[in-house]
Structure 1
Amino acid sequence: MKIEDLLTTLRTAVSARAVFGEPVERDGVTVVPAARVLGGGGGGQDLPEGEGAGLGYFARPVGAFVIERGRVRWVPAVDVTRLVTVAGAAVVTCLLTHRGFVRAKRRRG
């Protein structure tokens, strides 16, 4: 794959169509899903024995625009994995901090 082909593929993959999904309409309400899309690529040189190229991208839902009665509102997506990770990190931090205070207090007598 040539670098030009790789860049064309990357531009196509990381486009507005990848960020905004197809609108869904039901009972007068239109929902337009949105995602955060990150992408990148790389390539090798035109050598007689082999070329190299790579492409990757990551997409994660972030929410949706809801259009109802002529008004638009943003509804964020809830990332349960991120919430659990942050809550777990907060609990561990609190426990370690509390343990440090207890040890310091015992040393002081």
Structure 2
Amino acid sequence: MGSVVAASLNQNASIKNIFGEPIETQGKTIIPVAQVAMGLGGGYGQGNKKTEAGKDASGEGAGGGLYAVPKGVFEVTAKKTRFIPVSTSRPFLLGAGLGFLLGWLLFNKRAARS
């Protein structure tokens, strides 16, 4: 069972899914890039209870997951090749930091009134 899951995930984590199909337009070749992570897990257990047939109870399982995040594109021209990243998490982190700061200031202002 685990090998079926691994084969399925291996097929989904192919080079075409990490580096998408190249797109040619206006004298440029655009190659999409993604970060892909894959995980597998499995287990087997045997309990001390008996089944209806009188055998020890047991169980097994397997699973996996695939995680893909777009990272940017390679732009290839006759003169140069460059990597253009997808927007970074910097705006999110800045917004979260400002939100925490504003919350802290409002909390302190409210606490000073009391």
TM over 0.5: yes
Q: In the superposition, relative to structure 1, how do residues 22 and 60 fare at CA in structure 2: closer, same or farther (>3 Å)?
A: same
Count residues in correspondence: 102
Contact 2:45-2:60 at 8 Å conserved across structures: yes
Aligned residue runs from structure 1 range 18-97, under 5 A: 18-45=17-44, 51-78=60-87, 82-95=89-102
Q: Secondary structure at the match of 1:25?
A: strand
TM-score (norm 1): 0.69
Q: Which runs of 5+ in 1 are unaligned?
A: none
TM-score (norm 2): 0.67
Point out the structure with the larger helix share: 1
Q: CA deviation at 1:46?
A: 9.5
- Alpha-carbon distance in 2 for matches of 1:49, 1:6: 21
Q: CA deviation at 1:98?
A: 5.2
| Structure 1 stretches of at least 4 aligned residues deviating more than 4 Å after TM superposition | 46-51, 96-102
Q: In the superposition, relative to structure 1, how do residues 27 and 44 fare at CA in structure 2: closer, same or farther (>3 Å)?
A: same
Q: Percent identity?
A: 31
AA partner of residue 65 (structure 1):
F
Q: CA deviation at 1:28?
A: 1.1
Q: Which runs of 5+ in 2 are unaligned?
A: 47-56
- Alpha-carbon distance in 2 for matches of 1:96, 1:16: 45
- Select the structure of larger CA radius of gyration: 2
CA RMSD, aligned part only? 3.2
AA partner of residue 38 (structure 1):
A
Q: Secondary structure at the match of 1:22?
A: coil
Q: CA deviation at 1:41?
A: 1.8
Q: CA deviation at 1:73?
A: 0.3
- Alpha-carbon distance in 2 for matches of 1:50, 1:99: 54
Cross-structure match for 2:5: 6
